[in-house]
Structure 1
Amino acid sequence: MSTTDPSDPLDPVEALERLGRLALREHCMKSLLQSVAELATEVMPGNLEASVSLLINDRSSTAVFTGRLALDCDESQYGRGYGPCLHAAGSGELVEIADARIETRWRDYMEHAVEHGALSSLSVPLPINEGIAGAINVYARKPHAFDEDSRSVGTRFAAYAAVVAANMYAYEEARDLIEHLERRVESRAVIERATGILMERYELTADQSLQALTRAARYTDTKARDIADTLVRTGEFPEL
C-alpha cells in the first residue's frame, strides 16, 4: 500500500518524463501548453494556479490557465502593460513576488493581485521561437510560497517545456506548409481541368480559357478556384 500523500508535489523528473512522452501529432500548441501549465502546479507544493502567457510580436495573451485567479492576474497585467509575467517573458528573467502586500514594484498591479487573493507568484521565462516569448506563471494564495528548491524546479521545468513547445511550433509550421502546398497543387489541378473544359466547349485557347475563368471570378466576386471546381463538378459556368 502506497504511503504517498496525494498532495505531495510531483517529482520533477517524472514531470519532465511526462512532457517528453507527449506525442506532437496528438496535440496542438494549446493542448500542449495546457499540459505544461497543469504539470507546473503539480511540481510545486501548495494550492497553486498556473498560466502560460505568450508575447508574440509585442502582443500579450494568456494561452492557457488552470484557474480563474491565474487568468485574472495575467489579464490585469496586460491591461496595464507591465507586471511580473510580462517582465519575465520580455526580459528572459525569472520574477518572484514573495509577498504582494509589501512588494514595491508595479504597485497598482500588486494591489489588484492582493485583492483577488494572489499573495505570491513565480514567473519563469519560456522562450519558444524568434518573435515568440512566454512565461509560466504560478500564483499562490499565501506569501512566501516559493523557496530555492521551487525556483530551481521551476527553472528546470520551464527550460524543458520551452524545448517541447519550440518543437511543437516547428511541427505545426511544417504541417501548415505541407497543407498549403497540397491545397495549391489541388487548386492548380482543378483550374487546369476547368480550362480544358472551356477550351473544348467554346473552342478557346488555353490562355483565353484562363482569362475567361479569371473574368468570371471577378464579375461574380468568387475565387477562380471555386468557379473552376463548380465547372468541373457540375458543368455550370457563369454567363458573362
Structure 2
Amino acid sequence: MSFADHSLESVLQKVTDLAARVLPGEPATSVTIVDGRRATTVAASHPLARQLDEVQYAQGSGPCVEAATTGVLVELLDTTTETRWAAFPRVAAQRDCRAVLSFPLPAQELVRGGLNVYARTSERLDERARQVAARFAAYAVVPVSNMYLYESAVGRAEHLRAALDSRAVIDQAKGILMERHKLSADQAFSALAEVSMTANTKVRDIATHLVQTGELRLT
C-alpha cells in the first residue's frame, strides 16, 4: 500500500476501508485520536463506526476511549451481555453491532489513538483478526504522527514570526520616542511599559498604536 502524495484524511480512510474489507464480522471500522482530553474520529469506513465512537466520547468511556488512552487492546465480545461501559453496549446492540475490538495505535510521544472494529455479524474476532488489526494500527500511526509533528513545527514557526513581528513594532515605537523625547532605548521601553500597565494593554499593542497614529496612549 503506497501512501505517497495523499492527505492524512485520505490515508486513514484507506486504512479503515481496507480493514473493513479484510477483517471478519463485516465490521465498520474507525480511527480515534485523543488530543489532550478530547477524542475525535478522524476516519470511518461506515457511519455506524462514527456513531458508536461518538456515543463513547459523549459518556467518556467505552472500548475505543479505553484503548486510545491506555494503550491496551480492549475487547467487547458480546454487546448483548456486556456490563462494562455504562449504556454503550446496549446502544451498540440496538444498532446491530455484535462485538467490538479496539486496538491502540503503537505508542508515540505526540499522539494517542486506536483502530476500532465494530463487528456486525456473529463471526468471532479471533487471534488472526487481532494480528491484522495490529498491522492496520501500525499503518495508521505513521501519518497521524507526521501530522502532529508538522502542526507542532508550524505552531513554533508562527510563534517565532509573531515574536519577531512584535519585537519589530516595539523597536519602531522606541525609535519614535527616542527621537521625539531624546530618550535612551531603555527609557523609551520603560515609557511603553508604563502606558501598557496603566491601560492594561500589551506593550505590543501600545507600540502598534504609537507607530500607526503617532500617539502614545490608546484612545
TM-score w.r.t. the length of structure 2 is: 0.79
2:180 is the alignment partner of 1:201:
yes
| RMSD (CA atoms) | 3.0
Letter paired with 1:196: G
Question: Which residue in the other structure is 1:4 paired with?
Answer: none
Deviations 1:59-85 (A, max 9, x none): 241242435433332233344443211
Partners of 1:236 and 1:190 in 2: CA distance: 14
User: Per-residue deviation at 1:155?
Assistant: 1.2
Partners of 2:96 and 2:43 in 1: CA distance: 16
Question: Which residue in the other structure is 2:139 paired with?
Answer: 160
Give 5+ residue unaligned stretches, structure 1.
1-13
User: Per-residue deviation at 1:237?
Assistant: 2.7
User: Per-residue deviation at 1:175?
Assistant: 2.2
Deviations 1:67-125 (A, max 9, x none): 54333322333444432112322332333434422445446421121123322333121
Give 5+ residue unaligned stretches, structure 2.
none
- Name the SS for the 1:136 alignment partner: strand
Query: Is this contact kept in 2: 1:187–1:225, CA < 8 A?
Result: yes
Within 5 A, what are the aligned runs for 1:41-80?
41-45=17-21, 48-57=27-36, 59-66=37-44, 68-80=47-59
The count of corresponding residues between Structure 1 and Structure 2 is 215
Work out the percentage of aligned pairs sharing the same amino acid.
42
Partners of 1:34 and 1:230 in 2: CA distance: 45
Alpha carbons of structure 1 residues 97 and 209: separation in structure 2 relative to 1, 3 Å:
same
Partners of 2:176 and 2:59 in 1: CA distance: 60
Alpha carbons of structure 1 residues 198 and 63: separation in structure 2 relative to 1, 3 Å:
farther
Partners of 2:10 and 2:155 in 1: CA distance: 21
Partners of 1:147 and 1:226 in 2: CA distance: 62
- Name the SS for the 2:193 alignment partner: helix
Question: Which residue in the other structure is 2:206 paired with?
Answer: 227
TM-score w.r.t. the length of structure 1 is: 0.73
User: Per-residue deviation at 1:187?
Assistant: 1.2
Letter paired with 2:147: M
